[in-house]
Amino acid sequence: MQASESYHGTTPAALITAPASGQGKSMITAALARLHRNAGRRVRVFKHGPDFLDPMVLERASGAPVYQLHPWMTGEAECRWRLARAATEADLILVEGSMGLFDGNPSSADLAGLAGMPVVPVIDASGMAQTFAAVATGLARYRDDVRLTEVIANRIGSPGHGRILADCLPPEIRLLGAVPRHEALSIPDRHLGIVQAQEIDGLDDKLDAAAAVLQEAGLTALPAPVELHATAPATPERHLAGLRIAVARDRAFAFLYRANIELLEAMGAELRYFSPLADDGMPDADALWLPGGYPELHAAQLASNTPMLVAMRAHHAAGKPILAECGGMMACMEALTDGDGRRHAMAGLLPGETIMAGRLTGLGLQSVDLPEGELRGHTFHHSRLETALTPVTHTIRQRGGTPGESIFRDRGLTASYFHGYFPSAPRTAAGLFKPGE
């Protein structure tokens, strides 16, 4: 392994948070990124926690890669390293929090404390006046290690409403801006979160319009500079040198952590992308990765692509490695019943079927112990699996330590609802793609 490189930089930075989900922080973060990018600044954005969808929009907004930060899933050292590296090249760092500021373990507040970064809550002020100040004050005083001196009011009803909110805040908290309700700051969503960036027509125009709304609301100031320093992780060993991995990537299979992709490449793998929906075959490859996504929304198209299903069956019959995560596992079953109750034939690599349940059926941080080590990640799905297949093991829930998702193996295939974060255990991740392991 090569010697690790050190990073040290000071740059304006803030964690954009909220008292709860649904306050509008995702689009406020994206609009802030686009506002400062349009002003000529180099903007880097990160997302706290396991999330595939928000980073897609944040990448479009900032024009730069977006990585997940989570002290448990990605590790504290990686959080420090990614932020410190960004500080050496960016004029502004924004981190979008998850859920409410203090929700989860570790929470967005924990990440802010780890990085020494101020937090800026976005509070939905519709229907509020002086209570807005009570919420902001409570967030600021709940923990001594949280630095909160500015707040954003979202969805105000009028300029007069904004002035009331500013006047009721205590002297130690400043209203950074009062943002009116505006169509540009809304984004469509579905059962797993916001719609994928690639599916939103006119997204760049929408982001520019959202940035203009924030500029009109006065949200042009940069946050306070933060000093960030860390050592990069050791260069990963080339466990996958010369290995060709076919990676499904289209509207049905798009839940790919950028860090996972980069790690596979750093370990020597050649990634060959393809579309199970549109292509009539797989690339020539030693291993196959079917990530999560929305196969249930494209089940009829996937089922009708017979040449693709035949290619997947041939890869499996040859005993070549396959990693099928969540939506990828759904495509490997005999059938998938979509949200309208229609049953579609899938690849049939495993016995059984998945059925959309119309509700959340799995959520949370989890890990799995495999022979090579512990791989951390999460689960989030709205379908249930019906199969007679016996799992080889189960994930372990981070909260409570109880068994979580089933892990199935058949020849070279590993399938589960579990989404793994590969840098948490590089050698373990490599073993999922190496023949005979």
Summarised one tens digit per residue, pLDDT across range 86-142 is: 999 999 999 999 999 999 999 999 999 999 999 999 999 999 999 999 999 999 999
Architecture label for domain 244-431: 3-Layer(aba) Sandwich (3.40)
Contact 131, 169 (CB under 8 A): no
Tell me the per-residue pLDDT of 69-95, one tens digit each, with 9 for 90 and over: 999 999 999 999 999 999 999 999 999
- Which pLDDT band, with edges at 50, 70 and 90, does 4 fall under? confident
pLDDT band at 264 (very low <50, low <70, confident <90, very high): very high
**CATH 3.40.50.300 residue spans of the chain:** 6-231
Q: What was the pLDDT predicted at 64?
A: 98
Mean pLDDT confidence for 263-272: 98
pLDDT of residue 371: 78
Q: What is the dihedral of CA 93, 99, 104, 107, to 10 degrees?
A: 20
Q: Which two tokens stand for residue 347?
A: 């690849």
Cα(359)–Cα(422) distance, integer angstroms: 28
> Mean of the pLDDT values across residues 212-234?
96
Assigned CATH topology for domain 6-231:
Rossmann fold (3.40.50)
Burial profile 399-432: b = 16 or more Cβ within 10 angstroms, e = fewer? eeeeebbbbbebebbbbbbbbbbbbbbbebbbbb
Residue 193 is predicted with a pLDDT of: 73
DSSP per position, 401-434: --EEEEEEEETTEEEESPEE-GGGSHHHHHHTTS
Mean pLDDT, residues 201-205: 93
Q: Is the pLDDT of residue 1 over 50?
A: no
Expressed in angstroms, the distance from the first to the final Cα of the chain is 23
Enzyme catalytic residues: 326
Phi, psi of 283 (to 5 degrees): -65, 155
pLDDT class of 373 with cuts at 50, 70, 90 = confident
What residue spans in the chain does CATH classification 3.40.50.880 cover? Answer: 244-431
For residue 34, which amino acid is it? R
pLDDT of residue 131: 98
What residues pair up with 410 in beta bridges, in sequence order?
A: 413
**DSSP type of residue 184:** G
pLDDT band at 388 (very low <50, low <70, confident <90, very high): very high
User: What is the rounded average pLDDT of the residues 26-31?
Assistant: 97
Q: What does 332-371 look like in DSSP terms, one character per residue?
A: HSSEEE-TTS-EEE---SSSSEEEE-SS--EEEEEEEEET
Chain-centroid distance of CA 104 in Å reads 15
CB of 226 closer than 8 Å to CB of 199 = no
Among residues 412, 413, 416, 388, which one has the least CA distance to residue 403? 416
Name 120's bridge partners. Answer: 16
Q: What is the mean pLDDT of residues 396-416?
A: 96
**pLDDT at 413 exceeding the cut of 90:** yes
Q: What rounded mean pLDDT belongs to the chain?
A: 96
Instruction: Please compute the mean of the pLDDT values over residues 140-155 and round it to a whole number.
Output: 97
pTM of the model: 0.95
Query: How many residues can be counted in the chain?
Result: 437
pLDDT digits (tens, 9 = 90+) for 304-358: 999 999 999 999 999 999 999 999 999 999 999 999 999 999 999 999 999 999 8
Task: Calculate mean pLDDT across residues 198-216.
Answer: 94
pLDDT at 133: 98
Distances (CA, A) of 364 to 150, 176, 186, 310: 31, 33, 26, 34
